[in-house]
Amino acid sequence: MPHWLHATLQELLSGLLRILGYYTAVELELRILPDFHPRPDVASATFREQPYPTKPIEIVAEVLSASDEPGDVNEKCRNYQKCGIGRIFIFDPEEQTAKMWDADLEKLVEIENLQLPNGVIYPVGQIWTELISRMSS
């Protein structure tokens, strides 16, 4: 179960992606592949398919927990890639790092900016600043 830091970052990312032009949901089940029904921490798309997405969405964001193993995270990213999801972001609230799945390299690469499919570029540092503010108030 998510703790305060995890859940606060999840909420922050959902709200931010909404402001930046996407429909967003937390823990939304994706039914794009018949044998893989993940519930990403944050799902974002330019469309809302009801009741579940069955077509690739633009963005998923996962917030790491202490129990997440790197191999498991990479496997999840590979499965998201198989679903046709274009942007896969992984956020580590403890280390305050953000990574994006690089489909060509098939690995996570650290990023300083969110580069969104709609052309928006957003500094990751502002996310951490806002998270610290929310956690301290």
**Tens digits of per-residue pLDDT, 73-115?**
999 999 999 999 999 999 999 999 999 999 999 999 999 999 9
**Tens digits of per-residue pLDDT, 42-57?**
999 999 999 999 999 9
- Tell me: pLDDT of 58 over 60: yes
- What pLDDT sits at residue 70? 87
pLDDT grade for 67, boundaries at 50, 70 and 90: confident
**Average pLDDT, rounded, for the chain:** 95
Q: What percent of the chain has pLDDT over 70?
A: 99
Mean pLDDT of 59-63: 98
Mean pLDDT of 113-134: 97
- What pLDDT sits at residue 79? 95
Checking 105-109 for CB contacts under 8 A at 24+ apart, the result is 106/78, 107/74, 108/73, 108/74, 108/77
- What pLDDT sits at residue 66? 82
Domains of the chain: 4-136 (3.90.1570.10)
- What pLDDT sits at residue 2? 67
- What pLDDT sits at residue 68? 87
